[in-house]
């Protein structure tokens, strides 16, 4: 979410939201136009703070639902496609964090400035499509018999992009949500 000064904030813990005092406080106090919330069912990587979504790079935040098929076989190939200045920010071991950094790399390869608060939305969509294609291509080449499940939420705090690839994607959009 973006704070009152428009700065991207990420709050995360490797515990259930219902057990988190921080989550309860945030839910009661956040006023934001864009929020990504993620509840993880760990399928790749241990349950640690480093493996907890959403992931952040500058003003970009990312969450993923699904699994990169045969990730252990394609992890090195994915890393090889990520330049060192982006790769050094990978702290955890999840397929999700690797996909995020591959996406950032693809955005940069297309000439996008990752610090630009108003990127061309078509460029972001192209980078998302290319990333999905790369991940599935690598997985199939490594022996996956079906596509990876890649539901993605991506925001720069101004715009929210989402993909639905292999799983249902649910969302709530309401300018005056109240409980």
pTM summary value: 0.77
Q: What is the DSSP letter of 125?
A: H
Percent of the chain with pLDDT over 90: 43
DSSP-assigned letters across all residues of 24-79: HHHHHH---S---------SSS-SSGGGPSPEEETTEEEEEES--TTHHHHHHHHH
152 sits in which H/E element: strand 151-155
Q: Identify whether the C-beta of residue 66 lies closer than 8 Å to the C-beta of residue 151.
A: yes
- Tens digits of per-residue pLDDT, 62-85? 988 888 999 999 999 999 999 999
More confident residue, 171 or 137: 137
- Tens digits of per-residue pLDDT, 129-165? 999 999 999 999 999 988 888 889 898 888 888 888 7
* pLDDT over 50 (residue 179): no
């Amino acid at each position: 979410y973006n704070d009152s000064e428009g700065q991207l904030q990420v709050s995360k813990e490797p515990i259930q939201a219902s057990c988190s005092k921080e989550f309860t406080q945030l839910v009661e106090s956040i006023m934001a136009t864009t929020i990504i919330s993620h509840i993880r069912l760990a399928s790749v990587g241990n349950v640690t703070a480093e493996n907890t979504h959403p992931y952040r790079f500058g003003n970009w935040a990312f969450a993923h639902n699904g699994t990169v098929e045969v990730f252990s076989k394609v992890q090195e190939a994915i890393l090889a496609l990520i330049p060192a200045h982006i790769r050094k920010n990978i702290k955890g071991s999840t397929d999700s964090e690797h996909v995020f950094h591959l996406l950032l790399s693809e955005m940069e390869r297309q000439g996008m400035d990752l610090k630009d608060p108003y990127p061309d939305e078509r460029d972001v969509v192209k980078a998302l499509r290319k990333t999905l294609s790369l991940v599935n291509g690598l997985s199939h080449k490594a022996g996956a018999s079906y596509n990876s499940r890649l539901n993605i939420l991506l925001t720069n705090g101004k715009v929210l992009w989402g993909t639905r690839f292999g799983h249902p994607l649910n969302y709530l959009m309401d300018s005056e949500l109240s409980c």
